Amino acid sequence: MLLTKQDEQEIDQALQVWRQGDLSRDAGLEFLHRADLSRPHSPASVQAAEEVLTNDGEAIETGATVVLDEVQGVVMLSQTCDVVRNCCLRPFVEIAPLIKVDELWVEEIRRLKRPAFAFVPATADEHLVADLDRTMTLEKSLVSRWTRISGWETDDELRDFAHALARKRSRFAFPDDFVAAARRLQTYLSSKHNSQTAEGAYLRALYEIRVRAAPSWDEDEVLLSWWFIKEAEPAGVEVNWSMFLDRLLARFDQTGRFRLDPPNACRLEDMTARDYVESDRLDLDRLSIQA
């Protein structure tokens, strides 16, 4: 059965109000992926494997199986210009599920410090964010039957959402030996960020951390320049960025090929455009390791 002209028009009309970052909280929304249930390792595949064992009581065969997972909502990832185009010319859109995270993570996700997720203003009070590790492609006819909820209210909120999507795809893959040298530093950043200590106050005052390798990451000896970009001054503590950064970078292992320039504590407007584009951002949750 082919799509009728009336169906096409109804789908297109329904999609005209959808925008990137919008969401649906309709009951019964499901997310799917394929898994080998003989070796399950996600919550959804583990549950599916347990159900098979309970119902059949037999060994699970190796192979790809579709796993369905009911979710609390879904978020539109496709760009608005693609969402509103004719469903026959551009039949697909991409979505991500909403998942609940710890309350402390929500602000970190809003500030782009956890690139596996995207902040969704409409569901932030419920601690629901977009899980960018899980995406699904579906046809627009399905979306046309959903109840749309506006995911954002201002251009800045949409811009931040789009930035989060770009960050997920464009993270720099640091060399393995840099990842090893920064391991103690990374552990410290993650453990202290939300602590009610002077260190936590400094870390929460940061917008991002960037590092540049000179002459390049591939050289036998590499000089690293660090920028600790401030969003504000640390609250409730005596401000001494130089002392804090010296103590912080003492956790970076310099026994290998890396040497450190004195770190810079600055605001974004204090960096040159060249310094920014030639440096790479460190993530709070993990460093990207080259394949």
- Over the chain (291 residues), the average pLDDT of each successive run of 10 is 89 96 96 89 85 71 87 96 95 97 89 88 96 95 97 91 86 87 88 84 90 94 95 90 93 92 94 92 56 27
pLDDT value at residue 288:
42
Block residue for tokens 């096409």: 8
For the chain, count helices (H), then strands (E): 11, 13
pLDDT value at residue 290:
34
* Residue type for position 111: R
Collapse the DSSP code of 142 into the 3-class scheme (helix H, G, I; strand E, B; otherwise coil) and give the result.
Answer: helix
Is the dihedral angle over the CA atoms 102, 107, 113, 116 positive or is it negative? positive
- Cα separation, 109 vs 105, whole angstroms: 6
pLDDT value at residue 56:
60
pLDDT value at residue 3:
86
Per-residue CA distances from 123 to 15, 127, 234 (Å): 21, 7, 28
